[in-house]
């Protein structure tokens, strides 16, 4: 049980945020002094490659075909469904590393040996993101000449397996709310006594894999049920546009009302934006806009994020949890770079302090949270480091990546792979290696250094723009998958009638107009939709289209660095990046004098982000 009482913390927390934000700046400026040279980036890339093979070979030699490696005792264990989970999860990393032989051999083994007609009850979420996602990404690589990794003998076996698995997961969606059960038996459907409580991430992080499956099989059912699940969750949001952590899929009641960006909710936000980016479905974008605005308003305590009650916004837990660390990477995709930089700096200060991020770090006591002392080889901080380096090319992110490699090598490497750390203060090793270590942790580190050294990989060099699933699987925006809709085709998109012309002309030609709104107009503090000018719902608007680069991430970088003064008064280098997929600008609030609003909005207005917001050449989403 967490040791803090919910009601005892707010004042302490506020004071502590002030103290903490200045501490982390000072600390990092002194530790990130010596930079990674291009030559060292190559060496680090090769070192990460060796790390992958140490763990992959350890798994193949000692655990395969069991699910996961026990890296300390050099054994194996079935942790999910008993179907070579780590191999499936590692497939696209093998392809990314250019290992044609092992990729082809693994695909062949899976094609011949895997089957899902088994009497096992599995997590819908974990099976989707690790197994379905792993199979689909490998299928899309193995079947396509353009990837350079096509397997000549390959004949859609992985897609067939994925479709079979997808159909076995479908019974989980048969609930009154449309939000799926957390688990399902692959042979018999949902168990009679299955729990009706599931997490928001569990119900809302299925759209990418199921959507890709629909588009590859031409069967819309997969896309429909997962979109319905997102609608089911979002329909039950609070008046503040926050979602809780756990919900009853029959009654639709929240059983855990703590709202946050980490544990139990994290990838719900991630898939709203990514489903839009991959599928061009603006309903997801619309939901993301509202959900993101609420998160930045109620959860963001610059540079940290807290958990609050979804109805009252009262702080419940002033905790950093390690799952939150994906958020700056998501913000890069959303184009909200400045808070992403500050938050990454804060999160990385925790890593620097312990050599790893603990599962929980208490922002009030500035200490590891009781009972949350472990580091199970999680990838989230690496993921954000990669995206921020990609967006800014600031070498400090290479330095951060080097620190992460060094911690893993020094303290987590064990005889047959990489070990979980059971206590970040004492670096005690534990005999477990989650499959996401090979699917994500190593992948993001390798991509980071390869980007600095080259790059020479399909993500950064094509042939397609790739969206990463929450398990790090590569999902390409091929024409087959990404049915791009350049305009507000979602019937029900909230387009502002006063700013969007209804005569069919393209709003993009008008510098005053941006997608879904305007820069700098006021939204009253407690209203979701009201504005100084009326917003009309259920109107099919005509909105400016996104360029390909804007849709799929950073397409070019301005080489110029500008000198930047951060909030603590320190002088630092900040790299300017351009052509974000979406630039998110917080609405100016009519209640902007409140301290709550000042925290995020005023800094935004005062900062250079505001200058960029006034530049009509760029596209901004207005929240």
* Residues 376, 436: Cα–Cα separation, whole Å: 10
Return the half-sphere exposure (C-beta side, CA atoms, 13 A cut-off) of residue 495.
25
Q: Quick one: how far is CA 489 from the chain centroid? A: 26
Q: How many CB atoms lie within 10 A of CB 542?
A: 20
* Residues 352, 312: Cα–Cα separation, whole Å: 34
In this structure, the chain runs to a length of 623
359 is known as an active-site residue? yes
* Residues 256, 513: Cα–Cα separation, whole Å: 40
Position of minimal CB gap to ligand DMJ: 470
Q: How far is the CB of 469 from ligand DMJ (least distance, A)?
A: 8
Q: How far is the CB of 237 from ligand DMJ (least distance, A)?
A: 21
Nearer to ligand DMJ, 258 or 471 (CB): 471
| Residues at the site binding ligand DMJ, with contacts judged by CB under 6 A | 129, 267, 323, 378-380, 436, 440, 470-471
Of 209, 266, 281, 283, the catalytic one is 266
**Site of tokens 């200060």:** 349
Nearer to ligand DMJ, 175 or 324 (CB): 324
Nearer to ligand DMJ, 264 or 579 (CB): 264
What is the pairing mode between strands 413-414 and 360-362?
A: unpaired
126 is known as an active-site residue? yes
Q: How far is the CB of 521 from ligand DMJ (least distance, A)?
A: 36
**Site of tokens 């029900």:** 492
Q: How far is the CB of 312 from ligand DMJ (least distance, A)?
A: 28
380 is known as an active-site residue? yes
Of 67, 89, 283, 380, the catalytic one is 380
Nearer to ligand DMJ, 230 or 519 (CB): 230
Of 338, 359, 394, 431, the catalytic one is 359
Of 89, 99, 126, 383, the catalytic one is 126
Q: How far is the CB of 200 from ligand DMJ (least distance, A)?
A: 12
What is the pairing mode between strands 588-589 and 522-523?
A: parallel
DSSP 271-312: HHHHHHHHH--HHHHHHHHHHHHHHHHHTEETTEE-EEETTT
> Please, are residues 377 and 434 in contact by the beta-carbon 8 Å criterion?
yes
Handedness of CA 461, 465, 467, 473 (dihedral sign): negative
> Please, are residues 328 and 336 in contact by the beta-carbon 8 Å criterion?
no
Q: How far is the CB of 259 from ligand DMJ (least distance, A)?
A: 18
**Site of tokens 């510098």:** 511
Return the half-sphere exposure (C-beta side, CA atoms, 13 A cut-off) of residue 233.
37
**Site of tokens 């094509």:** 462
* Residues 536, 436: Cα–Cα separation, whole Å: 44
Q: How far is the CB of 569 from ligand DMJ (least distance, A)?
A: 35
Nearer to ligand DMJ, 16 or 320 (CB): 320
Nearer to ligand DMJ, 422 or 599 (CB): 422
* Residues 498, 351: Cα–Cα separation, whole Å: 48
Nearest-Å Rg of the Cα atoms of the chain is 23
Residue 139 burial by Cβ neighbours in a 10 Å radius (0-12, 13-18, 19+): buried
Nearer to ligand DMJ, 436 or 449 (CB): 436
Residues in CB range of 308: below 8 A, 6 or more apart = 242, 258, 259, 260, 298, 299, 314, 315, 316
Q: How far is the CB of 439 from ligand DMJ (least distance, A)?
A: 8
**Site of tokens 């974000």:** 580
Active site residues: 126, 266, 359, 380
């Amino acid at each position: 049980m967490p040791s803090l009482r919910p009601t005892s913390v707010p004042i302490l927390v506020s004071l502590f945020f002030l103290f903490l934000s200045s501490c982390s700046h000072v600390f990092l400026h002194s530790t990130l002094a010596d930079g990674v040279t291009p030559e060292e980036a190559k060496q680090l890339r090769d070192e990460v490659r060796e790390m992958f093979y140490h763990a992959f070979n350890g798994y193949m030699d000692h655990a395969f075909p069991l699910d996961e490696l026990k890296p300390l005792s050099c054994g194996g264990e079935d942790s999910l469904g008993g179907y070579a989970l780590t191999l499936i999860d590692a497939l696209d990393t093998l392809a990314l590393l250019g290992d044609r032989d092992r990729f082809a051999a693994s695909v062949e083994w899976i094609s011949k040996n895997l089957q899902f007609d088994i009497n096992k009850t599995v997590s819908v979420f974990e099976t989707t993101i690790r197994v379905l996602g792993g199979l689909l990404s490998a299928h899309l690589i193995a079947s396509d000449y353009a990837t350079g990794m096509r397997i000549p003998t390959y004949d859609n076996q992985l897609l067939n397996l994925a479709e079979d698995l997808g159909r076995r997961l479908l019974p989980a969606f048969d609930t009154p709310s449309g939000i799926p059960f957390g688990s399902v038996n692959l042979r018999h459907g949902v168990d009679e006594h299955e729990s009706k409580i599931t997490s928001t991430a569990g119900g809302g992080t299925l759209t990418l894999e199921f959507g890709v499956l629909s588009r590859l099989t031409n069967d819309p059912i997969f896309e429909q049920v997962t979109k319905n699940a997102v609608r089911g969750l979002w329909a039950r949001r609070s008046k503040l546009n926050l979602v809780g952590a756990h919900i009853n899929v029959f009654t639709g009641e929240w059983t855990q009302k703590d709202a946050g960006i980490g544990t139990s909710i994290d990838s719900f936000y991630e898939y709203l934006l990514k489903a839009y980016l991959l599928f061009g479905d603006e309903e997801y974008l619309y939901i993301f806009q509202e959900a993101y605005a609420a998160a930045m308003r109620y959860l963001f305590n610059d540079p940290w994020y807290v958990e609050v009650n979804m109805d009252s916004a009262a702080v419940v837990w002033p905790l950093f949890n390690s799952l939150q660390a994906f958020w700056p990477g998501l913000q890069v995709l959303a184009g909200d770079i400045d808070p992403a930089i500050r938050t990454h700096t804060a999160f990385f200060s925790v890593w620097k302090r312990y050599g790893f991020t603990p599962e929980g770090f208490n922002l009030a006591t500035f200490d590891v949270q009781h009972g949350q002392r472990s580091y199970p080889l999680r990838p989230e901080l690496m993921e954000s480091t990669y995206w921020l380096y990609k967006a800014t090319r600031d070498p400090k992110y290479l330095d951060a990546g080097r620190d992460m490699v060094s911690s893993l090598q020094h303290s987590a490497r064990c005889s047959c792979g990489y070990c979980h750390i059971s206590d970040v203060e004492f670096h005690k090793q534990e005999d477990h290696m989650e499959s996401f270590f090979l699917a994500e942790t190593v992948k993001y580190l390798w991509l980071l250094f390869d980007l600095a050294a080259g790059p020479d990989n399909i993500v950064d060099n094509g042939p397609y723009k790739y969206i990463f699933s929450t398990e790090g699987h590569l999902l390409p925006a091929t024409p087959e998958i990404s049915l791009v809709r350049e305009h507000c085709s979602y019937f029900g998109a909230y387009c502002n009638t006063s700013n969007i012309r209804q005569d069919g002309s393209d709003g993009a030609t008008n510098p005053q107009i941006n997608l879904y709104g305007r820069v700098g107009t006021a939204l009253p503090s407690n209203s979701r939709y009201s504005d100084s000018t009326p917003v009309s719902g259920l109107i099919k608007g005509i909105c400016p289209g996104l360029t390909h680069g804007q849709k799929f991430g950073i397409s070019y970088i301005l080489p110029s660095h500008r000198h930047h003064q951060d909030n603590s008064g320190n002088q630092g280098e900040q790299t300017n990046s351009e052509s974000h997929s979406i630039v998110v600008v917080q609405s100016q609030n009519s209640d902007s004098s409140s301290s709550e609003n000042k925290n995020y909005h005023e800094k935004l207005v005062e900062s250079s982000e505001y200058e960029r917001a006034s530049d009509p050449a760029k596209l901004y989403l207005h929240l």
